[in-house]
Amino acid sequence: MASISDIPDIVIGRLPIYLRALNLLVQQGQEITSSHELGQRLGISSAQIRKDLSHFGEFGKQGTGYQVRHLQAQLKQILQVNREWPVIVVGAGDLGRAIAHYGGFIERGFRVVAMFDNDPTKIGTGKSGLKVMDSAHMSSFIQERGIKIAMIAIPAAHAQSVCDTLVKAGVRAVLNYAPITLTVPEYVRVQYIDPVTHLQRMTYYLK
């Protein structure tokens, strides 16, 4: 098995897609799959899938395919989502609330444990169990709970300073919904969700 640094991040980026497909197969009660079938479902070549998985060991035998539940368990372990990560959401606007209440996190390794905002009219509002907390308490919350993951859903103008605060408090992975590229130390990971960049990537191809 290769060490972390050997494996290209683009390969790591495909593993959650494979895992998502396997989750669906499990739901559908399917026990065996193949790189060919996964490839068909995902629009990825079967050779690519086999090569990606080969970084992490042997998961199937030639001609017999993959055991769906076994491969699912292995991918969860590799991605470290065979546990539940506590996550905080910064920003309690429409988007932040929609993210915080999204039902799809729990079964895939994540639980939103707190939502923060600095707007006094928002603090204290929200559904029970996930009331909006004052940003002033964010750093201590992160430190006390050992939070490693945060989602940023605030305007671009404030995203970098919030990110700096998060990192200083101990956050090591940031999912940024603000439409701006963040600067972070090397030991911190950032992923971006900006619907406009996705849309613009498609309009290029529209006649």
Strand partners, 192: 176
| Least Cβ distance, residue 136 to a second copy (angstroms) | 25
Binding site for a second copy (CB under 8 A): 4, 9, 12-13, 15-17, 19-21, 24, 41-43, 78-81, 85, 87, 94-95, 97-99, 101-102, 104-105, 108-110, 148-149, 151, 156, 172-173, 175, 179-181, 183, 189, 191-206
Beta carbon nearer to a second copy, 113 or 193: 193
Least gap, CB of 62 to a second copy (angstroms): 25
Using CA atoms, how far apart are residues 41 and 16, in angstroms rounded to an integer? 14
| Closest to 16 measured CA to CA, from 137, 105, 93, 103 | 105
Cβ-based nearer residue to a second copy, 9 or 58: 9
- Per-residue CA distances from 63 to 66, 77, 148 (Å): 9, 25, 41
Q: Closest separation between CB of residue 151 and a second copy, Å?
A: 7
